[in-house]
Each structure stands twice: as structure tokens, then as C-alpha cells.
Amino acid sequence: MPLHTTEAVVIGSKDLGEADRIVSFYTRDRGKVRAVAEGARRIRSRFVGSLELFAFGKLVYFERPNKSLHKVNEFGLLEPFRALREALELFVQSAYVVELVDLAVEEGEANEELFSLLLQALRLLAQGVDPALLQRAFEIRLLKLLGYLPELRSCVLCRTPLSGAEPLMLSPSQGGLLCQDCRQEGGDGLLISPPSLAFLKGVLRMEFATLARIGLSPEAKAELVQVLRAWLFYFLGRGLRSADFLSRLLLPLEGGGKG
């Protein structure tokens, strides 16, 4: 079996049998990898404390040709991101990010830019950046990297340039913004306000690490949740479990700027 070494983030796991664990990694140069960590659930396992969700480390694994599950040889922690697992709300906010990657990418399709974006997102969450802003920025950056970015500068049907000075419609089925004259063609479209549209355009240009400087109203945050999750649902085919849980968790905080 070929042996591979790569940097990786743990994006999911589930128990296998009495002592093993199937771990999903997103790696820097080999894309998504699913591998069995034998004996990982035993008290004296060499994997104890290392294969936790969000953990970043150096993965060594045996590739099993023509099989979907490989074999973990070792995982050396570089950044455990323990803080992301200590509070329920932050855990769910962070879980949304890794679940989105897990759902959006196929196994074995490497995307180093997406790996770097994921790692940077986890670091910013650990530093206390507003999770709502970070999630929306992560979503639009991910859409760009995977080729699903909506057209945000002109009407996708008539190609009329759009300034974004008035509310517009963003239609997943049409592939982007629709002008006032073409709005009737966007049956699945959602209205997007000038501040929300400006945020999406700005995030695509700015350094990801400067998110902490952005101010966005609670109304714009709520609107962006609706717009981007509708877009993701259209292209990915289903919603995220963590998104539903997060909505229920934050229900008492509606209007408080989180989402």
C-alpha cells in the first residue's frame, strides 16, 4: 500500500466496530481523504486526543487502491483548536464550516486554496472573529473556488451592468443577479439589499484576515444567511445538519446579530 504524508484538518468522524474510527480529513495536497484509525477509541490508543474535530496536523496514511477507506498510520497535532470545542455555540458555528467543506468536495480532488481558506477560517474563529461574518465570507469564497460563484456585477440574462444601488434579485437557477426587467424569470430568486451585495463583492477582494474590521447590520446578516444558504442548497443538493441545529440554537438571540 502506498504511504502518503500531508497536512490535514479533521472535518468529520464516526465510530466503526468496537474500537475503530472512520475519520474524514481535508488535506492540503490530496483533497478529502477518509481513513480508518484502528483502535482509536481504546483508552491507550496512540490517537487519543489527536483525531478530534477541527484538529490540524500532519497525516500519514496508507492508501488502499480501489477502496474508499484508507488506513491512518499516524496523525501529529500541529494545532488542536481545542477552544472551538469548548463552548456549544462556537462548536456548532465551527462545525458548519467543516461540514460545508465535507459536503462540497469529492474525495481525492485537491484544492490547496480551499485548504488554506479552511485553516484560516478555523484560526479566525479561534481568535474570536464574528462567526456570522466569517461563515458568509467562507461561503462566498468557497463558491468561487469551486466554480459556483454567482454573477454579481450584471444581469445574467440581459447583461445590463448593475450598480447595486437598489435591491436586486439573486437567482440560483439563473446563475446570479437579475435586473428589474428580468426579475420575473427568477422564480427561485431572493431579494438582496445594497449592503449585503456590497459585502459579497468586498469579501471577494479583501484579505480574509481583515474580516474583523467589517461592520454589518443584523438585518444584512440575516438576509445573507437566507441568500447564501439557498444558493448552496441549489448547487449542493441538500442543506447542512449543523445549519439547522445552529438556527435552533440561536433562535433566542434573533436580532442580536448572530446567524
Domain with residue 139: its CATH number is 1.20.1440.120
131 and 205 share a domain?
A: yes
Q: What's the grid cell of residue 33?
A: 481523504
Q: What's the grid cell of residue 258?
A: 448572530
173 and 48 share a domain?
A: no
Q: Which one of 80, 107, 124 terminates a domain?
A: 80
230 and 161 share a domain?
A: yes
155 and 211 share a domain?
A: yes
Beta pairing class for 176-178 and 168-171: antiparallel
- Taking the C-alpha atoms of residue 223 and residue 259, their distance in angstroms, rounded to an integer, is 10
Residue 258 lies in a domain: no
190 and 214 share a domain?
A: yes
Higher pLDDT, 84 or 256: 84
pLDDT for 36: 94
Higher pLDDT, 210 or 92: 92
- Taking the C-alpha atoms of residue 83 and residue 17, their distance in angstroms, rounded to an integer, is 29
Q: Which of 169-183, 188-202, 208-222 has the lowest mean pLDDT?
A: 208-222
CATH of the domain at 45: 2.40.50.140
73 and 121 share a domain?
A: no
- Taking the C-alpha atoms of residue 84 and residue 90, their distance in angstroms, rounded to an integer, is 6
Q: Total structural domains in the chain?
A: 2
Q: What is the pTM of this model?
A: 0.88
Give residue 106's domain range.
Answer: 88-253
Distance, CA of 250 to chain centre: 19
pLDDT for 188: 81
Examine the pLDDT at 244 and tell me if it is beyond 80.
no
The 10s digit of each residue's pLDDT in 40-82 is 888 888 888 889 999 999 999 999 877 779 999 999 999 999 9
32 and 121 share a domain?
A: no
Q: How many distinct helices (H) and strands (E) make up the chain?
A: 7, 8
130 and 226 share a domain?
A: yes
Q: Which of 40-54, 92-106, 140-154, 233-247 has the lowest mean pLDDT?
A: 233-247
141 and 168 share a domain?
A: yes
98 and 59 share a domain?
A: no
Residue 259 lies in a domain: no
- Torsion angle, alpha carbons of 240, 242, 247, 250, to 10: -160
Residue 58 lies in a domain: yes
220 and 116 share a domain?
A: yes
